[in-house]
Amino acid sequence: MWDDIVQWLDERAGVREFWKVTMSRKIPEVNWFYTLGSTTMVVALLQGLTGILLTSYYVPTPEDAYGSIQYIVHDVTLGAYIRGMHHWGASFMVALVFLHMLRVYYMGAYKYPRELTWVVGVFLLIFTLGSGFTGYLLPWDQKAYWATTVGTNIGGVTPFIGPWVKEILRGTSDVSGVTLARFYGFHVWLLPSLLYPFIGLHLYLVIRNGITNPPSRDE
């Protein structure tokens, strides 16, 4: 029965060819450091899943944001677990992206013909940092408020465009409910709509151009 299902899908979607190209392709002998990219992708998918679950209860208003987080943690079934996964997953994802890029740089995997793969990866780093920064405000507690105040002030001292950057981030002169709504929109809609297509593009380029051999002493 399983073979019949696979045959039916293969005739209509080419699943065997897809599996051959993505999962059964030949790769050089590598080490565990080469798993950092795939690990980052798994964490990114978990962030998306847990984030969707959290939006079912989170209320992005100054009056209810903190209370909704407390409700998720203390009253929702598995709420503390899901919120903890999302909270710590954000930190792990940032660390994994940096480690992955360090590995790529050390191995020289940014060179021809993989320059575009590297450029897409740099954008993924930017989107990851942006997601972490915008998500930090959403609990709407004292730590989140003042950390966002400091972060947006840093953006405000950017040469030439600093005031514009600060206005885009905050929406007003100070961190307020407008900032919270804006960061929620960035975190839930804008950045994921950029992050996940770029992950797909990055994965496509990795499959198309292959991965590099670890450098040897002779090389």
Q: How far apart are CA 214 and CA 216, in angstroms?
A: 6
Share of the chain above pLDDT 70, in %: 98
pLDDT recorded at residue 26: 79
Q: How many residues does the chain have?
A: 219
Report if residue 178 sits inside a domain: yes
**55: CATH:** 1.20.810.10
Higher pLDDT, 102 or 23: 102
CA 180 to chain centre: 20
What residues contact 116, with CB distance under 8 A and at least 6 apart? Answer: 205
> How far is 155 from 12, CA to CA, in rounded Å?
51
| 114 within some domain | yes
Residue 168 tokens, joined = 């885009």
Q: Which residue has the higher pLDDT, 2 or 39?
A: 39
pLDDT over 70 (residue 217): no
SS3 at position 108? coil
* Rounded-to-integer distance, Cα 102 and Cα 100, Å: 5
| pLDDT of residue 95 exceeding 90 | yes
pLDDT at 113 over 80: yes
- Threshold 0.95, pTM exceeds: no
Domain assignment present for residue 66? The answer is yes
| Rounded average pLDDT over 139-160 | 96
Q: Is 114 within 8 Å of 122 (Cβ atoms)?
A: no
Which is more confident, 137 or 14?
A: 137
* Percent with pLDDT over 90 in the chain: 80
Structure confidence at residue 6 (pLDDT): 86
| Mean pLDDT on 91-120 | 95
Overall number of domains in the chain: 1
Inform me whether the pLDDT recorded for 4 exceeds 80: yes
Environment class of 75 (CB within 10 Å of its CB; exposed 0-12, middle 13-18, buried 19+):
exposed
Helix, strand, coil abundance in the chain, percent, nearest 5: 75, 0, 25
Q: Does 219 reside within a domain?
A: no
pLDDT tens for each residue of 76-92 = 999 999 999 999 999 99
The C-alpha atoms of residue 147 and residue 3 are separated, in whole angstroms, by 56
Which whole number is the average pLDDT over 109-129? Answer: 96
H or E element, residue 202: helix 191-209
Domain residues for 110? 31-209
CA angle at 74 for the pair 86 and 140, rounded to the nearest 5°: 60
**Domain assignment of residue 113, yes or no:** yes
User: Does residue 202 sit within a domain?
Assistant: yes
Question: Residue 214 domain-assigned?
Answer: no
Average pLDDT, the chain: 93
The reply to whether 2 falls in a domain is no
Give pLDDT tens digits for 20-60: 888 877 777 788 899 999 999 999 999 999 999 999 999 99
